[in-house]
Structure 1
């Protein structure tokens, strides 16, 4: 199986994966076209690789397209699991829409910039000044109810398997749980309901490489988002297992004799925790 990777760090443990710099992928077109799989391309490469050269990519196209924007992601979640999404409002950033949301939502509420990660671009809005500050930062309004939690879960799902799952405890700022924002890893058992939700979303939406952020409220799981390129701080020695899962998945997909369509892939993974 011929593998070309555009991210040497994330494929370090995959045997014989040839690294090509993303900016050189057309210079090395023969290598790219000869590959069975193209691993971790940059988002800007997708048009050429998937629609032009019609190559297999990993993570899946769905992982890229839905993971690129919180708005698209949330709408997909609402389409397949609305009962597991916090009350969310999305609107154009106009004065009229801003006033409607300010009047409609109980405070505090959470406001997000649609394309952000690692806890950046996520704000707790308690005052009018908080709201005005947020309005200056984003072209689109994306707000959610503030759930009564002091921690959430990161569930890493790759190829239909939970690689790891752990609690993220709230940072000293009293709001963010992200490890990049000062949150810490907790050791309490992870609820099965959270694992089941992450697996169901990954299977239903065709997301094959993601870290899902899930909150528990009264035993009920709510999904915030997923990160296609999740951090490795919480993997706790699971790197070899992660590489094995990825390799087994790529081999299984390669052995599938159905005609390949990179735009509408058919998942082959089992749904099991």
Structure 2
């Protein structure tokens, strides 16, 4: 199995990987074309690799396309699991739309910049001044109901399996749960409803490398988002398991089989939506 990686860090534990600098991929076209898999390309390479050279990539094309923008991601979640998505309003950033969203949601609520990660670009809106500050920074309005939680779950899926799942306890700012923003790891039991939801979403949408953020409210799981390139802080000593899961998945589909096609979904686990 010939593997070419554009991210040396994330494929460090995989055997026999050929690393190519992303900016040199066309100069090393022969190496790229000979590969069975292209691993962790940059987003700007996707068109050339998938549609131009017809290469198989990991993470999957849906992982890139949906993971690149919270708006696309949320709309996909709403389509397949509407009762597991917090109330979310997506509008153009115009005065009329801003006023309508402000009147529709009860403060406090959450507003996000569509392309952001690690808790950056996430705002707690408590006053109209907060709202105006957010509007000045975002190209599109993405506003979501505030869930009464002090923690959430990070569920890491690689290939077709859960590699890691842990609680993220709220940071001292009273809002962010991200480890990059001061959140802490909790050791409470992981609810089956949360892992079932993450697997359902990943398999139905064709997501094969992601950290899903799931909130539990009264025993009911809500999906907040997923990160295609999730942080490794919470993995502890599970890096080898992550690499093993990745390698097993690539081997499984390296010959004449193709990974799950999201156009013809076959969910791993049924879930009430």
TM-score (norm 1): 0.95
Structure 1 residues 74 and 146, CA, compared in 2 at 3 Å: closer, same or farther? Answer: same
Kindly provide the CA deviation profile for residues 82-127 of structure 1, in whole angstroms up to 9, marking residues without a partner as x: 0000000000000001011111110000000000000000000000
Alignment match, 2:120 = 120
Query: How much is the aligned-residue C-alpha RMSD, in angstroms?
Result: 1.9
Alignment match, 1:94 = 94
Structure 1 residues 205 and 262, CA, compared in 2 at 3 Å: closer, same or farther? Answer: closer
Alignment match, 1:45 = 45
Structure 1 residues 264 and 201, CA, compared in 2 at 3 Å: closer, same or farther? Answer: closer
Alignment match, 2:7 = 7
Shift of 1:175: 0.3
- Runs of 5+ unmatched residues, structure 2: none
Alignment match, 1:64 = 64
Kindly provide the CA deviation profile for residues 152-184 of structure 1, in whole angstroms up to 9, marking residues without a partner as x: 000001112110100000001000000000000
Structure 1 residues 247 and 263, CA, compared in 2 at 3 Å: closer, same or farther? Answer: same
Find the aligned partners of 1:261 and 1:14 in 2 and give their Cα distance. 19
Structure 1 residues 264 and 20, CA, compared in 2 at 3 Å: closer, same or farther? Answer: farther
Check whether the contact 2:4–2:20 (CA below 8 A) recurs between aligned residues.
Answer: yes
Find the aligned partners of 1:2 and 1:263 in 2 and give their Cα distance. 22
Note if 1:159 corresponds to 2:159. Answer: yes
Check whether the contact 1:160–1:269 (CA below 8 A) recurs between aligned residues.
Answer: no
Misfit runs of 4+, over 2 Å: 260-272
Check whether the contact 1:110–1:122 (CA below 8 A) recurs between aligned residues.
Answer: yes
Find the aligned partners of 2:207 and 2:104 in 1 and give their Cα distance. 33
Shift of 1:271: 5.9
Alignment match, 1:211 = 211
Shift of 1:261: 9.4
Check whether the contact 2:105–2:145 (CA below 8 A) recurs between aligned residues.
Answer: yes
Note if 1:110 corresponds to 2:139. Answer: no
Structure 1 residues 70 and 86, CA, compared in 2 at 3 Å: closer, same or farther? Answer: same
Shift of 1:266: 7.9
Find the aligned partners of 2:233 and 2:44 in 1 and give their Cα distance. 26
Check whether the contact 1:212–1:223 (CA below 8 A) recurs between aligned residues.
Answer: yes
- Runs of 5+ unmatched residues, structure 1: none
**Correspondence list, 1:1-273, <5 A:** 1-255=1-255, 257-258=256-257
Structure 1 residues 166 and 263, CA, compared in 2 at 3 Å: closer, same or farther? Answer: closer
Check whether the contact 2:160–2:249 (CA below 8 A) recurs between aligned residues.
Answer: no
Find the aligned partners of 2:261 and 2:194 in 1 and give their Cα distance. 29
Q: Count matched residues.
A: 270
Shift of 1:236: 1.5
Structure 1 residues 268 and 77, CA, compared in 2 at 3 Å: closer, same or farther? Answer: closer
Find the aligned partners of 1:237 and 1:77 in 2 and give their Cα distance. 31
Shift of 1:139: 1.3
Check whether the contact 2:200–2:268 (CA below 8 A) recurs between aligned residues.
Answer: no
Shift of 1:130: 0.1
Shift of 1:264: 6.6
Check whether the contact 2:118–2:178 (CA below 8 A) recurs between aligned residues.
Answer: yes
